[in-house]
């Protein structure tokens, strides 16, 4: 299942970070979601470990030094259960406990903040502007490809929407990393590796600070065809 967007990723004018931002948005747009993987489990594990190393180097207090990585394959009910487990886990929240503080620290370390003079939104937004102003609020205006989830039944759709929305946020974190540090190679941006996991057909569930399930849809058995 590939996403569609009414906006070409290359229209965003992000100054010296434009090329890398466009690359990240194209990487996100190329992901074929919720289908059996194209990467091997070994490659996926290596990609996740690359993310872990970069995140640990920047924020050692936020990340486990040697998390357990379990590669698990399954079908929609297994994916749904992992989404529910993640959603119901009130003790540990990878997105809010690690990824967002990681982004915030990086932006602060680079002295980056949103531009103070983006175009004003009137009745028609400016599609090429990554940020828009309404009153004294400065808003993100970058859009990523969206999925048509109408082919899925209700539980599948809810799980797919849950995961995809959080994966979209990884893309925004990746973009903010580049905006904050335009000279950073994409390989050195930890969020790039999360997008590469999705591109390879692997879905990381951080069930605890030191435990990750790297899920992929099984190529065998009942699997939704899009």
Partner 1 sequence: MSPRDAAILALARRLLGPRTRFEDVVSALERAVVRTIPAGRVFVIGQSEHGPIVGSAISGVGVAARPGGVDVVRVVDGRVVRLAMMAEQRRAMVVR
Residue 104 found at the interface with partner 1 (CB under 8 A): yes
CB neighbourhood size of 90 (10 A): 6
Strands 211-217, 68-74: pairing is: parallel
CA–CA separation, 149 vs 151, rounded Å? 5
What the block records as the tokens of 204 is 């990381």
- Segment interacting with partner 1 (CB under 8 A) among 36-44, 142-150, 195-203, 215-223: 142-150
**CA 226 to CA 41: how far, in whole Å?**
23
106 and 181 Cβ atoms separated by less than 8 Å: yes
Q: Name the CA dihedral angle for 3, 150, 159, 59, rounded to a multiple of 10 degrees.
A: 20
Q: For residue 129, count other CB atoms closer than 10 A to its CB.
A: 20
Residue 88 binds to partner 1 (criterion: CB under 8 A): no
Give the residue, chosen from 140, 187, 208, 219, that forms a contact with partner 1 under the rule CB under 8 A. 140
Helix (H, G, I), strand (E, B) or coil at 149: helix
Site string for partner 1, 150-169 (x = CB under 8 A): x--------------xx-xx
Minimum gap (Å) between residue 98 Cβ and partner 1: 10
Size of the site for partner 1 (CB under 8 A): 30
Does 107 participate in binding partner 1 (rule CB under 8 A)? yes
How far is the CA of 33 from the CAs of 18, 71, 163, in angstroms?
Answer: 25, 18, 10
How near is the Cβ of 139 to partner 1 at its closest, in Å?
A: 5
Smallest separation, CB 201 to partner 1 (Å): 22
Judged by CB under 8 A, the residue of 8, 19, 70, 148 near partner 1 is 148
Of 94 and 200, nearer to partner 1 (C-beta) is: 94
Please tell me whether residue 91 binds partner 1 under the rule CB under 8 A.
no
Tell me how far, at minimum, the Cβ of 109 lies from partner 1, in Å.
12
Query: What does the DSSP 8-state code read for residue 6?
Result: S
Q: Which residues bind partner 1 (CB under 8 A)?
A: 96, 100-101, 103-104, 107, 121, 123, 125, 132, 134-142, 146, 148-150, 165-166, 168-169, 172-173, 176
């Amino acid at each position: 299942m590939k996403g569609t967007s009414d906006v070409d990723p290359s229209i965003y004018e992000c100054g010296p970070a434009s090329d890398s931002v466009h690359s990240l948005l194209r990487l996100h747009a190329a992901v074929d979601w919720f289908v059996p993987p194209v990467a091997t489990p070994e490659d996926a594990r290596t990609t996740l470990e690359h993310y872990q190393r970069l995140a640990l180097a920047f924020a050692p207090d936020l990340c486990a030094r040697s998390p357990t990585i379990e590669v698990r394959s399954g079908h929609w009910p297994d994916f749904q259960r992992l989404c529910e487990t993640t959603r119901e886990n009130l003790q540990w929240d990878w997105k809010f406990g690690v990824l967002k503080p990681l982004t915030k620290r990086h932006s602060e370390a680079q002295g980056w903040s949103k531009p103070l003079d983006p175009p004003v939104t009137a009745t028609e937004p400016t599609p090429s502007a990554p940020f828009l102003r309404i009153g004294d609020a400065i808003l993100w205006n970058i859009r990523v490809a969206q999925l048509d989830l109408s082919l899925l039944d209700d539980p599948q759709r809810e799980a797919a929407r849950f995961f995809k929305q959080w994966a979209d946020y990884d893309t925004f974190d990746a973009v903010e990393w580049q905006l904050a540090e335009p000279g950073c190679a994409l390989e050195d941006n930890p969020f790039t590796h999360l997008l590469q996991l999705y591109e390879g057909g692997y879905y990381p569930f951080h069930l605890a600070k030191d435990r990750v399930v790297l899920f992929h849809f099984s190529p065998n058995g009942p699997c939704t065809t899009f």
